[in-house]
């Protein structure tokens, strides 16, 4: 088992994960990153016409995985 850290990048804001989560492998870390990103995106994009968020996963040796999502809302003339 290995400890993984899930840092969050919200536009230009960076939130470092100082606690981490112990998981069995990188596939579990990928699933956790995907789940975390979908949960926080749902709450944070409300009312914003454009937004970019990312979860950057690292272990004790450095970065290992990035998951990101971009949201753009464009109104079209009817």
For the chain, what are the domain ranges?
A: 2-72
- The pLDDT tens digits of the residues spanning 17-60 come to 999 999 999 999 999 999 988 888 777 767 667 778 899 999 99
pTM for the whole structure? 0.83
Integer CA distances (angstroms), 7 to 38, 40, 54, 58, in order: 14, 12, 8, 8
**How far apart are the C-alpha atoms of 68 and 38, rounded to whole Å?**
10
């Amino acid at each position: 088992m290995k400890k993984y850290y899930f840092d969050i990048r919200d536009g230009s804001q960076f939130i470092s994960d100082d606690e981490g989560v112990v998981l069995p492998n990188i596939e579990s870390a990928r699933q956790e990153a995907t789940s975390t990103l979908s949960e926080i995106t749902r709450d944070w994009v409300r009312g914003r016409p454009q937004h970019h968020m990312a979860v950057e996963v690292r272990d004790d040796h450095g970065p290992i995985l990035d998951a990101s999502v971009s949201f753009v809302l464009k109104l079209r003339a009817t």
